[in-house]
Amino acid sequence: MPKKQAETLLNDLVDTIVGHLKKGERIRNGGLGHLAGAQNARPAWDAIPRRANRSRSKASKKVAFRASKELKEAV
């Protein structure tokens, strides 16, 4: 497979995975494991100030990966 074609294929795969994770869907890959996004999101919150000024933290989203049993045993 030519390098350009492999790069296009990989970019399309990454775009598809990112789209599904943004929707909050879980992705299961048989031999690798599970990818999950958006369930681990943390909303914005007010930080407890040490001084008089108050600060607001930003909301965050995380992607969690859980390795499959096969991958754990192989490594």
Which pLDDT belongs to residue 45?
Answer: 67
pLDDT category at 75 given cuts 50, 70, 90 is: confident
Residues 39-52 have pLDDT tens digits of 556 676 666 666 66
Q: Is the dihedral of CA 2, 19, 26, 43 positive or negative?
A: positive
Domain that holds residue 54: 3-74
CATH number for 59: 4.10.520.10
Please report where in the chains the tokens 């879980």 appear, as a residue: 26
**Residue 6 CB-density burial (10 A; 0-12 exposed, 13-18 middle, 19+ buried):** exposed
- Count up the domains in the chain and report the number: 1
> What is the C-alpha to C-alpha distance for residues 18 and 10, in angstroms, rounded to an integer?
12
Instruction: Tell me the mean pLDDT in the region 7-19.
Output: 92
pLDDT tens-place string over residues 15-68: 998 888 888 888 898 888 988 876 556 676 666 666 666 666 676 777 888 898
Task: Check: CB of residue 26 under 8 Å from CB of residue 34.
Answer: yes
